[in-house]
Amino acid sequence: MATKEKEKDLKKYKDEYKVSSPILIDENASAANAYGVWNRPETFFINREGKIIARALREIDWTSNNMKDLIQYLLKEKK
Amino acid sequence: MDLKEILVLISILIFGFSGMRCATSKEESKTFPKNYVHPLTEINLEKVFSENRGLKILEENATKVHDYYRGGVQDKEEGERLLKESRWEEARKHFEKSNRFLRVVLKYLPEDEAYRTVYEGQTVIFLPNLLIADNTLKLVSVYRNLKNLDMATQAIAEGQRYLAESQKSVKTEWAVQIKKGFEEELARK
């Protein structure tokens, strides 16, 4: 979710870093405000019921063992 | 388990991209003359409420300073609503809870700021001292209605301390109104 970035910068970023997931533009920061985001990046994990089940308040190394363990834990919790 | 399977079970929503920081220009922070008094049309309770609505912050889930600020504002809004309905006891609980949240904020960020930059280009009105002063002024009236005059007297003194602290950093018409409110309460003693 991008708040302040311009569309052309986002396209460049997506190409450069080969980002496959969708990037949404949050005009006027309305989504960021609704989620209470005061830091960037900030990550929310949302389950199938639409409930926030975890939140990370800083940059994440998605390949780290900690992150793998967290995702495994969250998936087990919700099965 | 692959990414697709993970995304079927949970959605991952990321606000902001660290790699993009250099690609965007930073907005200049707002600056004001030293003795500038922010008018009520610019800084007021309704604006503070609207900036902090959204996900409800529960005491047990608050982890960051901004969670506590947001929680403090949200409980204040609820307290104000109950006060208008003359539901004194319920209003008291929310104003006191709001003050608890805001005191945690003050441990880490003791100064009020008219506009605090929370990330590039995004600012919020950040007045924890003033919000406690305003809550406490409302609590004076709540305590009077609950016939707890000792607490009302203590609240006047406490509220004035927070008001003075706020005015050291930021001058607002809102603070002038609160000051007047405390003076009126003192005259009633």
Q: Give the pLDDT of chain B (189 residues) as one tens digit per residue.
A: 566 666 666 778 887 765 554 444 444 457 788 789 999 999 999 999 998 988 888 888 787 888 899 999 999 999 999 999 999 999 999 999 999 999 999 999 999 999 998 766 678 999 999 999 999 999 999 999 999 999 999 999 999 999 999 999 999 999 999 999 999 999 986
- B20/A6 touch (CB, cutoff 8 Å), yes or no: no
Residues A66, A37, B6, A54: what is their CA dihedral angle, to the nearest 10 degrees? 60
Quick one: pLDDT at residue B61?
79
Residue of B nearest to A75 (CA): B9
A28 touches chain B (CB under 8 A): no
Contact residues on chain B for A16, CB-CB shorter than 8 A? 19
Quick one: pLDDT at residue B43?
96
d(CA B189, nearest CA chain A) in Å: 41
Quick one: pLDDT at residue B69?
94
Give the DSSP per-residue string, B17-73: -GGGGGGSPPPPPP---TTPEEPTTTS-HHHHHHHT-SSPPPGGG--SHHHHHHHHH
For residues B108 and B134, the answer to whether their CB atoms sit within 8 Å is no
Rg (CA), chain B: 19
Interatomic CA distance for residues B14 and B11, integer angstroms: 10
For residues B116 and B123, the answer to whether their CB atoms sit within 8 Å is yes
Beta bridge partners of A56: A43
Paired tokens of A28: 């006027």
Low-confidence ranges of chain A (pLDDT < 70): 77-79
Contact residues on chain B for A2, CB-CB shorter than 8 A? 16-17, 20
